[in-house]
Amino acid sequence: MVVIPSSVVATMAMRGEKGMSLIATNTWGRPWRRVGGVTLVVFGIVLVAPPRCAAQELQQGVSVELAVTRNAVAMPAADEKGALIIAVTHDGSVYFGIDLITPAALAEKPGLSSRAGENLYIKVDARTPYANVAEVLGAVRTAGVTAPNLLTAQQETREPGKLVLPKGLEVLLGPPPSGAESTVVQLLNSGQQWPLLKINNEEIPWANLESRLRQLSQNHREKVVVVNADGLLPFGNVAHVIDVCSSTGAKVFLVTPAT
């Protein structure tokens, strides 16, 4: 046992009385000291408590940075309980709901293949390489899904307190119907900010994409566009092309590894 000399004890007592006297006579010091004490308690609770907010956010789905589009349509069923949702993150990770999965396992997912007739929603991070998306599209096609919906963000201003319904673009997988006159749009990696854009092997400026598509489809009974994109390109570029094609009323077929 450590013995503290009586002189030290006396000195400590005198300093304690002096400190208490200062607190009693300083009207500004008392409330701030009280707040400081409460703050320490609050921080202690936050540090010890389990991360409930993180768990709740995880149950709602996987967060991705969606591509922004202009011509997406409302898809309220994507918010319904039990909706089939696949997410592709920035680093290429794939989730079925909130469960991490590989594209190969996704192609054999019982919950997917047995409900292939229902709507399937895919939300993709705009920054991920298109190769990651094409692999997922090939997997869901193998599972029997031929018309998935790509969820996107919108440019419209959100009004405070107003419920915003999810929106997206429908795409088709596999070759277009036999006999259909298809317009082929290619996106090629140019090493620049914007990829090289070709329509039926003719290089065109990005600003002319919509007008050229409308011109080519004037004499077609059915508007069909086949989009073939370089796997190195960010998905945001591909989503932009799908969006413009949809604005013309065309059915958009995406080339996948299984096509």
pLDDT digits (tens, 9 = 90+) for 9-26: 444 444 444 444 443 444
Residue 105 structural domain: 60-157+165-254
Q: Flag whether 53 is in a domain.
A: no
* Residue-wise pLDDT tens digits, 225-234: 999 999 999 9
- Report how many domains make up the chain: 1
- Band of residue 116 on the pLDDT scale cut at 50, 70, 90: low
Does residue 36 lie within any of the structural domains?
no
- Residue 149 in this model has a pLDDT that exceeds 60: yes
In this predicted structure, what is the pLDDT of residue 58? 31
Please compute the mean of the pLDDT values over residues 237-258 and round it to a whole number.
93
68 in a structural domain: yes
Q: Give me the amino acid identity at 75.
A: M
Tell me the pLDDT band of 56, cut-offs 50, 70 and 90: very low
Q: How far out from the chain centre does Cα 29 lie?
A: 50
pLDDT confidence bin for 111, thresholds 50/70/90? low
Check residue 35 and give its pLDDT. Answer: 38
Alpha carbon separation from 206 to 53, 171, 186, 213, 244 (Å, rounded): 43, 21, 12, 11, 10
Please state at what angle helix 235-247 crosses helix 130-142, rounded to 10 degrees: 60
Of residues 100 and 18, more confidence is placed in 100
Look at residue 125 and tell me if it is in a domain. yes
- How many C-beta neighbours within 10 Å does residue 119 have? 18
Going by the DSSP 8-state scheme, the letter that residue 234 receives in this structure is: B
Q: Which residue has the higher pLDDT, 81 or 115?
A: 81
Question: According to the model, what pLDDT value does residue 114 have?
Answer: 66
Percent of the chain predicted with pLDDT > 90: 54
pLDDT at 198: 97
Asked, for residue 196, whether it belongs to a domain, the answer is yes
- Residue 184 CB contacts under 8 Å (≥ 6 apart), including other chains: 199, 200, 201, 225, 226, 228
Q: Establish if 40 belongs to a structural domain.
A: no
pLDDT band at 52 (very low <50, low <70, confident <90, very high): very low
- Is 96 inside any structural domain? yes
In a domain, 28, yes or no: no
**What does the mean pLDDT of the chain come to?**
78
Query: Which tens digits make up the pLDDT trace of 180-226?
Result: 789 999 999 988 888 999 999 999 999 999 999 999 988 778 899 99
pLDDT at 105 over 90: yes
- The pLDDT confidence band at residue 43, using thresholds 50, 70 and 90, is very low
Question: Beta strand pairing status for 182-188 and 196-199?
Answer: antiparallel
Q: Give the integer Cα–Cα distance in Å for 6 and 15.
A: 14
pTM for this model (two decimals): 0.73
